[in-house]
């Protein structure tokens, strides 16, 4: 006899795991299944990002990103402490290296004040060198509450807690949702492993969020376009050149934070990422290609409008993706004594960028409903940091929309 789960969560990244965990925590009687198409949890955006616990300093005051990042950061640190997940609240510096960046740096500081970010300060060149001896800059903002964490470990722990709270809750790996049908009040999730039935479903599908939304009857006014980010690693002999986290002042004309230096929670130092359009949504190699993904992206007017607006930026990013020398030159703006011998090719990640028809990136988290479902349509960075807060928001939405109770 098939089991009908109370809730199915589709997507085993950290947002999916956190949503399932928050629902299970609030409603211990619910039978929850977490479906993930990969052989392990956190195999896409969660496990291939820079591993930073973001402070919330960059985001528009009052936005879901700002509120959930600040709250989620605090919850994530507490969770990591409780469950002994590798992490360190080590702080970071955002460094202005040119006079034209000083006004933008001050704007970032003012936004931090508006967002209620604790442990921030403005510092000058001498203090920059005290914190990061090899870094050079005109001024910086130090953000003491930023940190690093093992996001894979956090995701796995959240998922493992489901079964500890309710023995009949489970995780199903290598399980891809192919189609969705409805029979009365029950959803049928048709997968490569057969059918899963659930009263309610939460979709946290990241790079596939728009496609699954369409399969569930939504018509999202956006499309996911993938952007690959390549990283380099510092050689063991050069790791001393970075103590913790060093970021540039982001250019507001571009939708990325720029290449930065990150000490990783499990060891090593990474530099990057760049940002280049990828011809495969889940393609981590520089020459990866998928015809359906490419056609889907290039048949969308929003993609071409983005290209038209940022073509110079995009061309520079592609050049840097295939030139270690160009990548080094960008990194030397922050650490002038870095050399080619200090850099070794590292991994890559793919960011799900949600674009509107006008070519503008959706600037905030986006959640929507369909039938008995909640869809997380847009959850880019800082979603990993904010995951537990997003999970709480989804729990509250599910409680209201699905009329859940402690005895459901």
pLDDT of residue 405: 67
For 55, left (φ over 0), alpha (ψ -120 to 50), or beta? alpha
User: Which tens digits make up the pLDDT trace of 129-149?
Assistant: 999 999 999 999 999 999 999
pLDDT of residue 325: 93
CATH number at residue 375: 3.50.50.60
Q: Are residues 40 and 181 in the same domain?
A: yes
Q: Are residues 208 and 118 in the same domain?
A: no
Across 371-400, average pLDDT: 95
Q: Is residue 73 part of a domain?
A: no
Q: Is residue 111 part of a domain?
A: yes
Boundary (domain end) residue, out of 112, 144, 176: 144
Q: How confident is the model at residue 201 (pLDDT cuts 50, 70, 90)?
A: very high
Q: Which residues contact 396 (CB under 8 A, 6 or more apart)?
A: none
Q: Is residue 41 part of a domain?
A: yes
Angle made by CA atoms 39, 198, 365, in degrees to the nearest 5: 70
CATH number at residue 293: 3.30.9
Q: Is residue 59 part of a domain?
A: no
Boundary (domain end) residue, out of 105, 126, 144: 144
Q: Are residues 193 and 253 in the same domain?
A: no
Q: Are residues 304 and 356 in the same domain?
A: yes
Q: Are residues 341 and 367 in the same domain?
A: no
Q: Are residues 343 and 265 in the same domain?
A: yes
Q: Is residue 407 part of a domain?
A: no
Q: Are residues 336 and 236 in the same domain?
A: yes
Tell me if 294 sits within 8 A of 281, measured CB to CB: no
Q: Are residues 109 and 257 in the same domain?
A: no
Residue 132 is part of which domain span?
92-144
Query: What is the Cβ-side half-sphere exposure of residue 233, based on CA atoms within 13 angstroms?
Result: 11
Structure tokens of 245? 């986290």
User: Which tens digits make up the pLDDT trace of 205-228?
Assistant: 999 999 999 999 999 999 999 999
Q: Is residue 76 part of a domain?
A: no
Q: How confident is the model at residue 406 (pLDDT cuts 50, 70, 90)?
A: low
User: Which tens digits make up the pLDDT trace of 49-73?
Assistant: 989 999 999 999 999 999 999 999 9
Structure tokens of 74? 């605090």
Number of folded domains that form the chain: 3
Q: Are residues 211 and 159 in the same domain?
A: yes
User: Which tens digits make up the pLDDT trace of 70-126?
Assistant: 999 999 999 999 999 999 999 999 999 999 999 999 999 999 999 999 999 999 999
Rounded to the nearest 10 degrees, the angle between the axes of helix 64-83 and helix 151-165 is 70
For residue 2, pLDDT over 80 is answered with no
What's the chain's average pLDDT?
Answer: 94
User: Which tens digits make up the pLDDT trace of 310-358?
Assistant: 877 778 887 888 889 999 999 999 999 999 999 999 999 999 999 999 9
Q: Which of residues 256 and 185 earns the better pLDDT score?
A: 185
Q: Are residues 213 and 233 in the same domain?
A: no
Give CA–CA dist 133/224, Å, rounded.
40
Burial 59-80 (b: 16+ CB within 10 A, else e): beeeebbbbbbbbbbbbbbebb
Q: Are residues 183 and 290 in the same domain?
A: no
Q: Is residue 66 part of a domain?
A: no
CB neighbours of residue 84 within 10 Å: 9
DSSP 165-220: H-TT-EEE-S--EEEEEEETTEEEEEETTEEEEEEEEEE--GGGHHHHHHHTT---
Q: Is residue 67 part of a domain?
A: no
Q: What is the pTM of this model?
A: 0.95
For residue 407, pLDDT over 70 is answered with no
Q: Are residues 250 and 185 in the same domain?
A: no
């Amino acid at each position: 006899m098939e089991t009908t789960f109370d809730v199915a969560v589709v997507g085993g990244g950290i947002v999916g795991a956190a949503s399932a965990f928050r629902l299970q925590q609030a409603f211990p009687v619910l039978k929850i299944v977490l479906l993930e198409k990969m052989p392990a949890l956190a195999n896409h955006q969660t496990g291939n990002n820079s591993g930073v616990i973001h402070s919330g300093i960059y985001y528009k005051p009052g936005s879901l990103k700002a509120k959930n990042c600040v709250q989620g950061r605090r919850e994530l640190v507490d969770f990591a402490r409780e469950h002994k997940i590798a992490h360190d609240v080590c702080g970071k510096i955002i460094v202005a290296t040119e006079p034209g960046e000083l006004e933008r740096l001050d704007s970032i500081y003012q936004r931090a004040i508006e967002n209620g970010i604790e442990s921030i300060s403005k510092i000058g060149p001498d203090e920059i060198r005290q914190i990061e001896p090899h870094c050079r800059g005109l001024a910086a903002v130090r953000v003491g509450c930023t940190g690093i964490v093992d996001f894979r470990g956090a995701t796995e722990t959240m998922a493992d807690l489901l079964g500890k709270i309710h023995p009949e809750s489970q995780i199903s790996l290598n399980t891809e949702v192919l189609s969705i049908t409805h029979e009365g009040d029950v959803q049928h999730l048709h997968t490569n492993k057969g059918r899963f039935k659930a009263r309610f479903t939460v979709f946290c599908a990241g790079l596939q969020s728009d496609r699954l939304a369409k399969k569930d009857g939504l018509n999202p006014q956006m499309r996911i376009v993938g952007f690959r980010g390549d990283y380099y690693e510092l050689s063991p002999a050069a790791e001393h050149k970075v103590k913790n986290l060093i970021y540039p002042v982001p250019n507001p004309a571009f939708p990325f934070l720029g290449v930065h230096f990150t000490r990783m929670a499990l060891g090593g130092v990474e530099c990057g990422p760049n940002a280049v359009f990828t011809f495969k949504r889940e393609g981590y190699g520089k020459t990866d290609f998928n015809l359906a993904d490419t056609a889907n992206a290039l048949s969308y007017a929003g993609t071409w409008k983005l290209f038209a607006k940022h073509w110079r930026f995009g061309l520079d990013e592609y050049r840097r993706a295939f030139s270690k020398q160009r990548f080094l030159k960008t990194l030397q703006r922050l650490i002038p004594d870095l050399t080619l011998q200090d850099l070794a090719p590292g991994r890559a990640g793919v960011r799900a960028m949600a674009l509107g028809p006008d070519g503008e990136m959706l600037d905030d988290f986006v959640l929507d409903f369909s039938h008995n479902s909640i869809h997380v349509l847009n959850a880019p960075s800082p979603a990993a940091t904010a995951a537990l807060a997003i999970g709480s928001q989804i729990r509250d939405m599910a409680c209201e929309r699905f009329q859940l109770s402690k005895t459901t």
